[in-house]
Amino acid sequence: MKIYSILLITMAILANSCRFSNNGIIKDKLVETLTSELVEKYGEKNRDKIERGIQQAAQLWEKNDGIASDFSTFVLDNYIADDSLKEQVFYRIAMQLENIYGGFNQMSVGLQKPLHVSDYQTLAIDEMFAQWDPSSHWIEDFYHSKLAFYILLNFPFYTLEEKNELGMQWTDLEWGYARLGDIFTSRIPAQVVQQFTQEINVSDNYVANYNIYMGNLTDSTQKTFFPKDMRLISHWGLRDELKSQYADNENGLQKQQLIYQVFKRIVSQEIPLQVIDNDKYTWNPYSNQIFDGKGQIVENQAEPYTRYEHLQKVFKAALQTDTYSPIYPTYLKRKFEQEFEIPQAEVENLFTQLLTCEQVKEVAALISKRLGRPLQPFDIWYDGFKTRSTIDPQKLDKICMQKYPDKEHFTKDLPHILQKLGFTVPQSEFICNHVSVDASRGAGHAWESAMKTDNARLRTRITDKGMDYKGYNIGVHEFGHNVEQTISLHNVPNYLLRGVPNTAFTEAYAFVFQKRDLQLLGLKNDDIHEQDLTNLDIFWGCYEIMGVSMVDIRVWEWMYKHPSATAKELCDAVLKIAIDVWNQYYAPVFGCKNEPILAVYSHMIDAPLYLSGYPLGHLIEFQYEQYLQGKNIGQETYHLFSQGRLTPTCWLKKGLKTTLSVEPLLNATQIAVEKLKIEN
C-alpha cells in the first residue's frame, strides 16, 4: 500500500509540474538553480515545498513583473522556511482575506438588492449597478503588488488527486495552507472577470422577471383553470405548481398538461413575447394563439431566441477566461475539477448508473399504478411520494399565510424551527442572529456571508397576502442553506476552510430541511411507509434532475465545439440534445419519444453548469439521512459543518464515514418498491 500511495503522489506531482509548465519568461534552468539553492540552505526534506512554490510562481510571472534577476531576488528574499513564522503569516493573510471577501460580498449584496428584493421598484439603473463587479480587479492587483507571488511561493497549489490522497492525514492548518494555494491558479484580467459577471447578472435578471400569468392560460375551449392573480416564475414556480396538482383529482391533470405546453413553448422559443410577465392577453399554449380583452386573436410575436442569446453570451464570457486558466483550461474543467472537485467523468458515471438502473422501470410502474394512468412526460416531476401531495394545496396556503402574514413573522419563527430540529436555544439564537430575511423578486435564494460581522440572506417569495406554501417551502430550503453557511463560517478551524466542499453539500443539507417542512408546521404523517416513500421520492428526484444535468453538460460540450454558433443554432442544438437524452434514458420508461422538457431549467441560462450540484446533492442528502437516523440533527449539523471545506472525498470519509455512491440509494429503493408491491 505504501508503494501504491507513493506512486500516486509522484504521478500527481508530475502532473502538477506539467500543468505549471514554463511560460517562457522564467526559464526552467533558473527554477532549478533557485530550488537547489534553497534546498541546500533549508534541507532536502523541504524540496517538494520549495520546488512546488518556485515553479508555480514562475509559471504566472509576466514581463511586467520584472526580469529574471527580479524573480530570483523575490524568491530568495520571500521564501518562508520557519514553520512558526509561516503559521503567523497564514493567519494574517486569512484575516485580510476575510476583510477582502467580506467587503466585496457586502457590496455585491447591496448592488444587486434592488433586483433581488421585491421592496424596490425596478429602475434601469439597477441592472447597470448589478453588472458591476467590485471584486473584478483584486486578483490582478495582488499580482501587480507581488502579494499573489508571495502566497504562491509559500502556500503552493495541490492537485485534486493530491488533496484526496494526502488530505486524510493533513492537519486543519495544512488544509488551510492548501486552500490558500487554490486561490492563485490563474491570472485572469479584470475586464474578463467583469464581463463574465456582467453576463451572469444580465441573465439572472432576465430569468428573475420571466413570469407567466396563470389565470390568463386557456385551453381550446377558452376555459381557464388558475386563479386570476397567480403569477409564476419559470421554471421553478411553474414546476412547483405542476407538482402541487397531483393532489387535485378534478382538474389537476388538465392543469399539468397546460403547464407542460407552456414549458415546451418556452424551450422552443415559440412563446409569444406578449405573454411574458404581462397580464394583458390570454394565451392558449396548445394552439399558441393570444387574445385581447375582447377575445379577439392578436398577432403572435415569438420571443426572438432571447433565452439562448443569454446562454450564448455567458458561454462566450466564460470562453475568454480559458486562455488565462492553465490548470483548468475550460469552463467544464473549472466547474467539475476546481469547483465541485469531482471529475466530470466520475459525475457522469454516477448519473449513468442511476439513469440506467433496473429500479427506474419498477418505480415508474409503481407511479403509473398510483396515478391510475400511463405516465406522461411531466411525471418526471411526480410528487406523490411526499406527504403534502395528498393535502389540498389551498389548505397548505391558508395554513402558511395565517402563520406567516409577513416576513417579520417568518423571521421570528426561525429559532423555533431550529429548536424543533434539535438545535439548542443558544445555537438557534446565534444562527438566527446571523440571518436576514427579505421578500424575493425571483424564486428565492440564500446568499452567504463572507465575514463574521455580516449576515447571510434568506430570500423567498412573500406576497401582500402573506407567505403561501410555495414561499414557505422554498424559505425552509433556503434556511437550510443559511444554517450551513453560518456554521461553516463561524465554527471552522480557520477562515480558508470556510464553507463546504461544493454546492452539492449545501443543497443536500437544504433538502434535509425542506423535506421536514410539514413536520415544522405541525402536520404529522402516520403512514407506516413514510421512510420508504421518502426514499422513492429522493430516487425519482435524482432520476429527473440527472437527465437535466446531462443535457446541461452536453450543451456546454456542444458550445465548445461550435463557438461561433448563432442563437437559433444554439436553440436547435439544445432541443436536439434534450430530445436525445430523453430518448436515451426516459423514452423506454415513459413510452413516448422526442420530448424536449429536460431543457426547461432556468439554471441553464443564469447559473452555468450549476445543475449537476442538485443530483449530487440528492445523493449526499440520502447519505446524510442514513447518517442522521437516530441522531440529533442539530448537534450533528454542528459536527459535520465544522469540518470546513475539505474535498468531497475527504469530507465524506471523515464526516459520514462513507464515499459518494448511488448504491445505497438503489438498495433502499429496491426495498421500498418490494414493500409497496406487497402492500398494494
pLDDT digits 0-9 by tens, 326-370 = 889 999 999 999 999 999 999 999 999 999 999 999 999 999 999
- Determine contact, residues 615/542, Cβ cutoff 8 Å: yes
Per residue in 212-241, pLDDT (tens digit) is 999 999 998 889 999 999 999 999 999 999
Q: Report the relative pairing of strands 211-213 and 231-233 from DSSP bridges.
A: antiparallel
Cell, residue 146: 507581488
Among 307, 336, 358, identify where a domain stops.
307
Mark 604-619 as b/e (b = at least 16 C-beta within 10 Å).
Answer: bbbbbbbbbbbbbbbb
545 shares a domain with 602? yes
Domain check: are 468 and 617 in the same one? no
Q: Are residues 472 and 375 in the same domain?
A: no
Q: Are residues 397 and 256 in the same domain?
A: no
Cα 229 from Cα 174, distance rounded (Å): 56
H runs (alpha helix) in 515-529 = 517-520
Distances (CA, A) of 364 to 246, 302, 384, 598: 15, 36, 12, 17
649 assigned to some structural domain = yes
* Same domain membership, residue 643 and residue 563: yes
- pLDDT of 435 over the 90 cut: yes
Q: Quick one: 532 and 671 in the same domain?
A: yes
Confidence of residue 20 (pLDDT cuts 50, 70, 90): very low
Whether 372 is in a domain gets the answer yes
End-to-end CA distance of the chain: 51
| Distance between CA atoms of residues 292 and 218, nearest Å | 13
The reply to whether 627 and 529 lie within a common domain is yes
Question: 3-state DSSP call for residue 439?
Answer: strand
Boundary (domain end) residue, out of 473, 490, 507: 490
The answer to whether 270 and 283 have CB atoms below 8 angstroms apart is: no
- Which sign, positive or negative, has the C-alpha torsion 553, 347, 631, 164? negative
Predicted local distance difference test score (pLDDT) of residue 528: 77
For residue 634, being part of any structural domain is answered with yes
The rounded percent of the chain whose pLDDT value lies above 90 is: 82
pLDDT of residue 530: 83
Domain that holds residue 434: 391-490
Contact yes or no for 417/437 (Cβ under 8 A): no
User: Of 220 and 493, which is predicted with more confidence?
Assistant: 493
DSSP sequence for 122-177: P-HHHHHHHH--TTTTHHHHHHHTTHHHHHHHHS----HHHHHHHTTT--HHHHHH
Q: Do 36 and 136 contact (CB within 8 A), yes or no?
A: no
Q: Looking at residue 10, what is its pLDDT?
A: 29
Give the separation between CA 325 and CA 332, rounded to whole angstroms.
12
Residue range 238-265: average pLDDT? 95
115 lies in some domain? no
- Whether the pLDDT of residue 130 is over 90: the answer is no
CA angle 395, 400, 401 (to 5 degrees): 100
Asked whether residue 79 is assigned to any structural domain, the reply reads: no
Residues 559 and 674 in one domain: yes
Same domain (yes/no): 631, 530: yes
The half-sphere exposure of 640 on its side-chain side, counting CA atoms within 13 A, is: 29
Q: How many domains does the chain have?
A: 3
The answer on pLDDT for 281 being more than 60 is yes
Please name the residue ranges forming H helices in 491-631: 503-514, 517-520, 530-561, 567-585, 587-590, 603-606, 613-628
Q: Are residue 564 and residue 601 in the same domain, yes or no?
A: yes
Residue 90 lies in a domain: no
CB 204 within 8 A of CB 270: no
Does residue 64 form part of some domain? no
218 φ, ψ (degrees, to nearest 5): -130, 160
- Structure confidence at residue 680 (pLDDT): 58
Same domain membership, residue 533 and residue 670 = yes
Over residues 91-116, mean pLDDT: 95
Of 5-14, 210-219, 410-419, the one with minimum mean pLDDT is: 5-14
Whether residue 297 is found in the same domain as residue 350: no
DSSP assignment of 478-516 equals HHHHHHHHHHHHHSSSSGGG-S-SSHHHHHHHHHHHHTT
With a CB cutoff of 8 Å and minimum separation 6, the contacts of 223 are: none
Q: Find how far residue 533's CA is from the centre of its chain.
A: 26
* Whether residue 564 has pLDDT greater than 50: yes
Biggest CA–CA distance in the chain, Å, is 89
Which DSSP helix (H) or strand (E) runs through 456?
strand 456-460
Residue 85 lies in a domain: no
**DSSP string of 194-253?**
HHHHHHHHHHHHHHHT-EEEGGGBB-TT--B-S-TT-EEETTHHHHHHHHHGGG-TTTHH
* Over residues 529-541, mean pLDDT: 91
C-alpha pair distances (Å), 95 with each of 91, 102, 275, 494, 641: 6, 11, 50, 10, 21
Each residue of 657-679: pLDDT tens digit?
Answer: 999 999 999 999 999 999 988 76
DSSP H helices, 20-146, are: 28-42, 47-59, 68-78, 83-116, 124-131, 138-144
SS3 content of the chain, % helix, strand, coil (to 5): 65, 5, 30
